[in-house]
Amino acid sequence: MKGVGVSPGISIGKAFVINSTKATLTGDLLQNPEEILAAAERFDDAVNLAVKEIESISKNITLNLTSDDLAILETQIEFLSDPQLREDVVNKINTHKKNANDAIVEVIADTVQIFENMEDEYMRARSADIQDIGNRILKHLNTNSQGLSLKFEPDTIIIAEDISPSDAITMDIKHVIGFVTRVGSKTSHAAIIAKSKGIPAIVGCGDDLNAVKNNDIVILDGVTGLLFINPDQQLIEEYSQKKSVYNERKSQLKQLKEVPSVTTDGTAIQLLANISVADDMDSVFDNGGEGVGLLRSEMLFMERDSFPTEDEQFEFYKQVALRSKNKPVIVRTIDIGGDKQLSYFNLPAEQNPFLGYRAIRICLNRTDLFITQLKAILRASAFGNLKIMLPMISGIQEVRDSKNIIEQAKQELLKDNIQFNNSIEVGIMIEIPSAAVTADILAKEVDFFSIGTNDLCQYTLAVDRMNEKISYLYDPFNPGVLRLINYVIGQAHQHKIHVAMCGEMAADPMATLLLLGMGLTEFSMSATAIPTIKNIIINNNLAAAKNILNKVMAMDSSQNIIAYLQEVTT
């Protein structure tokens, strides 16, 4: 099977299939009284979470629910609270030793069947509602998105529809050696998370992945994107060998930790890390990172069931600041919406979530949330070299409005005599084409740019970064994308502001020399990618990089560009 290899490395282990909403039987029987008790508890937890979820949907005025909608939700809650449902499920668990998933799947299937056999057409149609309720319970049972923690055996390879950031945060990850997902592409969050944790991963396998069953033996090659299910002994040996070679090379590269990141002609290149949680700081320094170029603050918001208070946020940013050894830490204000939803902030479903109500657009609309976060970051700026970065900026008005709100947050802190760095730098992500082509205008307003190629590529090429069917079009080496990047870097230099790149392209070895040629001197990436990129930097010089840039910019297609870059980088 082949998907997109997004986090390098080779793993050989046992499949654990997470059926997010699909009603499938695992066939696993419970072994002892503890497991039976735990299964019943898991069912109760899942039902409670499902009820809570429906209640919060019902209360969400932004959804404009009709009385019919509310009646359906009310019926769903009634069904979930029906003692008969619990009795049937618990009976399967206790008497037939069925695991919680299978017990629910069977009870729901039986109930659906009863409704489907009814004479009355209206009642027959209710079978879809019952299935929907079943799926909702299973979602809470089988995914981690609500903080349920799944426990894994050693050498587990997770097979899932997708892995959300909160899944990965709350999952008991210590035994997980691989991720494989049905959907997604290089820049989906499952990929970013796997990379930051140094766990080999493949995304976008498509429907073929449905064939994988629990406990299948799996070989995962995160470089080529190849996945082997129940391979023979010869293949296992071949890949065990490849795995040792890969791991050996990885530990050699890690030796570069103390080596300064300087090209052979003496240009210092700053290598920073993208992080999501304070614990990631260890890996930053362990891999030779010189600070944090992107702290994705929304992760703090995703692993819980209500908005974090100013004090809770302050504690988090302060922890990161204290662990940063006074190196720069760029905190990006929340980038929720799009693919990053919060269970407790019921954003209405949208036709085009990536083009919709997200990131800075939410912050400028919900200034209460924005000010709370800004005050927390500002307070933490007294404990380290923090900077503020605004995501999804499309034009100058959003920058000016944001700066006014930052000023307001400062005034509130001054009034209360609270310490903060009054000259904290404020920068923006350049990830929307309109921002890139007006870099000359925006550069006058901010202290720094950080190029977010994940979104810049998606918006420039009109390619959904999550859609595996069109992932072949998702191409940072498209001349259109390269021209934008080159222009942004040039304008930043001209206006004497810092410019970094924090999208996944910064971690792509094939892009390193090209970006150096464009004049990029600040790269931010998953900490685990730093040694590989440093190895390229310390073995090359700027004149060669400029030469590569000139050749590439004269080419007419990404096919030619990629072929050429492959040739010069290997």
Contact with ligand PEP (CB under 6 A) among 146, 166, 287, 453: 453
C-alpha closest to that of 358 among 378, 344, 342: 342
Q: Toward ligand PEP, which CB reaches closer, 216 or 455? A: 455
Does 222 engage in binding with Mg ion (CB under 5 A)? no
Does 161 engage in binding with Mg ion (CB under 5 A)? no
503 interface partner picked from ligand PEP, Mg ion, none, CB below 5 to 8 A per type: ligand PEP
Site string for Mg ion, 39-78 (x = CB under 5 A): ----------------------------------------
β-pair partners for 386 = 329
Helix (H) or strand (E) holding 7: strand 4-7
551 burial class (0-12, 13-18, 19+ CB within 10 angstroms)? middle
Q: Toward Mg ion, which CB reaches closer, 53 or 504? A: 504
Q: Toward ligand PEP, which CB reaches closer, 166 or 453? A: 453
Task: Choose the catalytic residue: 205, 363, 457, 502.
Answer: 502
Position 45, amino acid: D
| Residue linked to tokens 């912050």 | 363
Contact with Mg ion (CB under 5 A) among 427, 452, 476, 517: 452
CB atoms within 10 A of CB 247: 12
Residue 360 phi/psi, 5-degree rounding, is: -60, -25
Site string for ligand PEP, 392-431 (x = CB under 6 A): ---------------------------------------x
Does 162 engage in binding with ligand PEP (CB under 6 A)? no
Position 192, amino acid: I
426 burial class (0-12, 13-18, 19+ CB within 10 angstroms)? middle
Does 358 engage in binding with ligand PEP (CB under 6 A)? no
Contact with ligand PEP (CB under 6 A) among 503, 513, 537, 565: 503
Task: Choose the catalytic residue: 189, 205, 363, 457.
Answer: 189
Contact with Mg ion (CB under 5 A) among 455, 468, 475, 508: 455
Residue 320 phi/psi, 5-degree rounding, is: -65, -45
Among the residue ranges 141-149, 269-277, 452-460, 518-526, the one whose residues contact Mg ion (CB under 5 A) = 452-460
Tell me how many degrees the CA angle 200-282-279 measures, rounded to the nearest 5.
85
CB atoms within 10 A of CB 173: 19
Q: Cα 383 from chain centroid?
A: 27
State whether residue 355 is helix, strand or coil.
Answer: helix
**Nearest-angstrom CA–CA distance, 219 and 203:** 14
Closest distance of CB 187 from Mg ion, Å: 8
Contact with ligand PEP (CB under 6 A) among 452, 476, 517, 531: 452
| Count of residues that bind ligand PEP according to CB under 6 A | 11
Site string for ligand PEP, 277-316 (x = CB under 6 A): -----------------x-x--------------------
502 in catalytic set? yes
**Nearest-angstrom CA–CA distance, 43 and 226:** 36
List binders of Mg ion among 382-441 (CB under 5 A): 431
Among the residue ranges 9-17, 44-52, 445-453, 523-531, the one whose residues contact Mg ion (CB under 5 A) = 445-453
Instruction: Provide the token pair at 159.
Output: 């097979």
Does 502 engage in binding with ligand PEP (CB under 6 A)? yes
Q: Toward ligand PEP, which CB reaches closer, 256 or 429? A: 429
CB atoms within 10 A of CB 83: 7
Helix (H) or strand (E) holding 293: strand 292-296
**Nearest-angstrom CA–CA distance, 102 and 120:** 29
296 interface partner picked from Mg ion, ligand PEP, none, CB below 5 to 8 A per type: ligand PEP
Does 335 engage in binding with ligand PEP (CB under 6 A)? yes
Q: Toward ligand PEP, which CB reaches closer, 380 or 392? A: 392
What sign does the CA torsion over 224, 24, 157, 183 have?
A: positive
Instruction: Provide the token pair at 59.
Output: 């209360």
Q: Toward ligand PEP, which CB reaches closer, 291 or 452? A: 452
Q: Which residues contact 116 (CB under 8 A, 6 or more apart)?
A: 124, 127
Closest distance of CB 431 from Mg ion, Å: 5
For the chain, the residue count is 570
List residues binding Mg ion (CB under 5 A).
431, 452, 455
Could you give the residue numbers annotated as active site? 189, 502
List residues binding ligand PEP (CB under 6 A).
187, 294, 296, 335, 431, 452-455, 502-503
